[in-house]
Structure 1
Amino acid sequence: MQTLQPNTLLQGGRYKIIKTLGQGGFGITYLAIQSGLEREVAVKEFFMKEFCERDSATSHVTLGMETSRDMVKRFRAKFIKEARNIAKLNHPNIVRIIDVFEENGTAYYVMEYAKGGSLGEKLRKKGSFSKSIATRYITQVAEAVGYIHQRKMNHLDIKPDNIMLSGDDNVILIDFGLSKQYDATTGSQTSSTPVGISEGYAPIEQYQIGGVASFTPETDIYALGATYFKMLTGITPPSAPSLLEDGVSIESLKAKRVSKNVVDTILHSMYSKKKDRFHSIEDFLQGLRDYSNSNKVKSLISDKEEMLVLNEKVLTFNINGVSFEMVRIDSGSFFMGATSDMEETEEELEECEYIVQSIYEKPIHKVTLCNYYIGRTVVTQKMWTAIMGANPSKFRGANKPVENISWSDCLVFISKLNALTGKVFRLPTEAEWEFAARGGNLSRHYRYSGSDTLANVAWCDITSEYDTTSDVAKKQPNELGLYDMSGNVYEWCSDWYGDYSCIAQHNPMGAKYGESRVARGGSWLDASVLCRISSRSCFSADTKDYFIGLRLALSE
């Protein structure tokens, strides 16, 4: 018998054991009744199952063989020290210690009882959580961890099974058995007990001797990211050693339609090297705030309802009997360029005779944009004709994209449109175009605009039946309700073409001068690699061809 039996009394009847809640390598947790206050509590008993034994008649615990007795005594002392350290903490999302005592040859501490069970149990039943619920839970855990970090303490074992839920569905961080306290001045550990490892949640430094000898917020931040990943996907992350080469895969996050802000938060928490992770809980929480601010409505609604909300962000114009729509793009930040989901496949390299397109899409850099509007579709031939009085296109069709127009022709068209509407339409910047193509703040990190399957969203060399453009809005839209941002026709942007910079930028306008103008999106005659969202092309401003058109933008 390893566990105490139901109705066992402790402390002279002050606590009565009801049942066993769980057992780990270092202890057993019970549900008990505190007799004086007649309330349920959780009692944790120090019991190293590999070394301790219990007398079934007396419940007395012996500390194993002579060779291991000193080690077990050290851990029992740490167990008591853990209880006393936790008792000094006062945070709504950290378990509250009620009592600590020694009895039956071992040690116990008494905690408030979390009636909602653990996040681990809930995940095993539900599979995963919605983005809004997972974000609320992980925010509360992060705030608790930030509190202990202020006191130079690392938890070192954050995972769903160590996060409990109160009766009102708020989280309670428990199990500080592996935690370490560090000297407030030097940052060095004040104990030398071994560091445990929870596979999937422990970063690489916990596998290394001396890896957490100094206070390091990044270690717990890794575990927060891993726990967030688990809550969103239902999948336990791979162990840290297996991630050294390729890092965290985002495919399972993409399958759950998780926004880019969330993916970025998880990736920046779970980098293998500490120097690449968030360096404080405040940084981690800021990533969550960026997500929450950009998803105030989205996090609580279904995909069908989401499209209704998007429709409320549309401006409709009617010019000379032709209507067109401009979709509002909420302000946000993203990483521009050849992110990991944009790198060429072997097949794409063969298509392009091993010309690596993505070298022109680097370095990846952070871009922040203000609100703006962009056309739901490219400008059609009927719209161009309504403004200009003539149709220059080679492939005729009222609902086909206008093409065979130069960058300079676009400026003339826009000038006339502005005179008719009193608005200030313009070409989108290259950054605005890419952010919109990626789905803005609703991005699901697709390779092409709206899907990872090219045929679903793009008219291009391998998906078009005929050697011609196609009517707009016949394929599925992207997350923002925008059509044909991959394939059909290239779309002129306002920027001069120039090399990217690694420096973070706010509303970038592109190079100050150059020889050609940016065009994005690929066309009906292009290979799939040129239809990737991050793919860049350029043409001289006077180029006219039957594969280049335009999409309008409008500042808010």
Structure 2
Amino acid sequence: MMFVGTVLRNCYKIVRLLGSGGFGDTYLAENLDLPGHPLCVVKHLKPRDPNPDVLQIARRLFESEALVLYKLGHENNQIPRLFAHFEENGEFYLVQEYIEGSDLSSEVTVGKRWSEQEVTQLLREILEVLTVVHKQNIIHRDIKPQNLMRRREDRKIILIDFGAVKQISTLVNIQGQTSASVAIGTPGYAPNEQAAGYPKLSSDVHAVGMLAIFALTGIKPHELPRDPTNGEVVWRNWANVSERFADILTKMVRYHFSERYQSAAEALSALPAPPKPKPQPKSQSTPIPAPLPTSQPTLQSTPMPRRQVIQMLGLIGTGVGLAIVGQQLLQGVFRRRDDVVETPTPSPSIRSDISSTSSPTPKQLATPRSVSLQTFNFETVSVDAQGNINNRSNRQAKYFAQDLGNGVTLEMVQIPGGTFLMGSPPGEKQRESNEGPQHQVTVPGFFMGKYEVTQAQYQAIMGNNPSNFKGEKRPVEKVSWNDAVELCQRLSQKTGRTYRLPSEAEWEYAARAGTTTPFYFGETITTDLANYNGTKTYASEPKGQYRRQTTNVGSFPPNAFGLYDMHGNVYEWCQDDWHDTYQSARTDGSAWLTQGSTNVLKLVRGGSWGLSLGLCRSAFRYRVYPGLRYYVIGFRVVCVVA
């Protein structure tokens, strides 16, 4: 047990113990890195078995599940966010969101009977959140009132207790069982297949249905009788509901999983539509108010207010593990994608079937003031759907070298301006809706970093190196959007030139370098061409390496513009605010910013070392809290032309 005042990682100061369980302790803490020292929750997991092999299993599960928790929380503000996770001396720590509120055990109680209308609304709220989870093929495995909080400030339902915590501690003490085969759950809510260690998405549907029946009957799920002939729960004698609603609940809690709704989305679609609000009578004496903005910011930039921070997941009592159906946990951390491009500069060296356009004009090739351009030679390659190299080409690009002092330079490559089609076509594999609609964008010429900003370059400008994977030539990571912007500001002051983050349009235009395929190498890539998680495939290429860390910049072939590591290695911050689609997006290549507000998410592009190939496409895009520092996120810079 940690003492009050203990500081972890020079950042998280323990305030008090919140609770203890069989798998560790949960603490309230202050984040000393942020203004005002906002509160957070630190979970301390202590595996019980000291066996090194067991510890290795725990480490792998902790890492992969923590990344999934991170993804889920940043996809939906009704799922708590994971701010950090780390290991020290064989023990594991999660830093999570804490939000004031109370769980549903204070509302759904023994003897209290809710109306059908009230339960229908409750089901709708729970299933909407659970749908987000199920869309990622993740099984919660412990839906119950204690794991559903009602947030005080907006009364929304928050789904908590995704604790990899309990799953890890259980797994490391069970030989020969997989993450999906460990029986985790609560009696009465967990169905028979889950109790046997084989949970399904429909197992969560069963638990939600049993919670609804508890609210209707006032009887705890494990106290309701079961039909001895078929195992079905007997509940209708204690509830006054319509036949239609009774049939929905009965299907949700069927004994055999194949007879239930197969996912939260399917169950949600079976519920009656919510009643439409009654139209308000118009009054000639009352002016009609102006319409509200169509998009509202979802998270706040720094400083982060106390009331926004942090929600406990569940180390206390009966935590829940995650189960992944059909794909790896790790590649869930970030998933979003972006689209195809037609650029003005032909790239026959990459793909012979890309049509060329006219060469850029001299104005498009403008250079920064007082810059002497040099030329470098490089080779590009393209591959077929099997990952076989089918073309090699020698190319040239112009650049200038920015002296940062102490022998450290920053190479800035000239990117010719042009027009391209931004946003993915509907047929692109693993496409998501935020990649559309496709739209034509005209991008003026600019200079972009030949490589992701390295640790040596970051040290030269900022005087520190926050990276997890140390190496002067490796990309800097664990830098927030705010950190990246500050480096650009300092670099501009140091050099007298204007440096900034790329706009999202500039990034995609530069990444594609004239290609319209998912990757600038072609229909796929291999781990010989980029640093990503090669344990899964995208097209017909073979599986490859999973290096589990960053690599030196420039270790793999560049694209036709002479830019390296635009696929994989680390995510790269862009200047823009996050928008869910490209509807009404800018077409001039500039950053798309939300006027008059700092309460916005930012975005990253390009994938990372920890993600599968499909998540490293040129089209890939994902929203991220601007204050987040994570070891899969770095950046590269742009220099504004004169």
TM-score (norm 1): 0.43
The structure carrying a bigger helix percent of its residues is: 1
Q: Which has the higher Rg, Structure 1 or Structure 2?
A: 1
Q: Relative contact order: is structure 1 or structure 2 higher (C-alpha 8 Å, sep ≥ 6)?
A: 2
